[in-house]
Amino acid sequence: MRFEMASMVPNRFTLIRLLREDRASTTFLGIDHVLERSNVLIKIFRKGHFSADRTKLVRLFSWFKGVRHPQLATSIDAGFTRKENLYYVREYLPVSELPSGYETETIKRLAAVVLFLHSKGRVHGAIKPSNIFLSSGLLKLTDPKVDGVSSQGTEEHIRFSAPEVLEGSNATFETDLYSVGAMLYRLLAAQDPFDDPELDHLKSKYLWASPRPIIGFCNV
């Protein structure tokens, strides 16, 4: 795997630390020698694991590169390698836990950034704990969904994706709101609506079962 990863990384990048790797992508902390930036996050998607519509992908990353919002992570660059892998570069944010006792402020900030994206005709499509960070006291939302890249089968995807997305539909503003609601449930109740050790059973619950009312777990 390490040999394969080394063959994926263009010469413009130097790897500092591997953060995550799977069949579709490799994510690492690194140095971008072209932009002369160190300690940036670089994610490379393997050819065949993302949408073939390059024009749409360019528009997506160009928009996020040009936008500035206090609750959005800064996108720095994106493009295609000589081997036709897709890459993007953004600011690196260390993994952080959302502090307890600040649920109301976190909810306000998360809702604000989703409404901002909606006002610009944009959908994030991947609102989940692993894409939410705390930096200098600010909530930061990272890594919008890339068409053609699937997280199907992961527990986090099941817990924070709307039922229609779990069944294969595209992300919309409404599915983003569902993901926000799932985040709010966890923040306020300190648990998720459903649990099951078998992912297929867990998915069925999220597709068909009614969630337990939050009033039974906290004083909202």
- The confidence score (pLDDT) of residue 101 equals 64
Residue found under tokens 């065949």 = 48
Positions of the chain with pLDDT under 50: 1-3
DSSP state of 73: P
Per-residue pLDDT at 1: 45
Residue 135: its pLDDT value, please?
Answer: 82
What lies within 8 Å, CB to CB, of 13 at 6+ separation is: 30, 31, 32, 33, 42
Please spell the DSSP secondary structure of 61-72, one letter per residue: HHHHHH---TTB
Query: Both tokens of residue 127?
Result: 């609102």
Query: What pTM did the predictor assign?
Result: 0.89
pLDDT tens profile 154-212: 899 999 999 999 998 999 999 999 999 999 999 888 899 999 999 999 999 999 999 88
Nearest CA among 134, 130, 214, 118 for reference residue 171:
118
Helix (H) or strand (E) holding 114: helix 103-119
Phi first, then psi, for residue 184 (nearest 5°) are: -60, -40
> Which of 82, 83, 1, 77 has its CA nearest to residue 43?
77
In Å, how far are 53, 166, 197, 214, 218 from 189, measured between CA atoms?
40, 23, 20, 6, 6
Distance from the Cα of residue 78 to its chain's centroid: 16
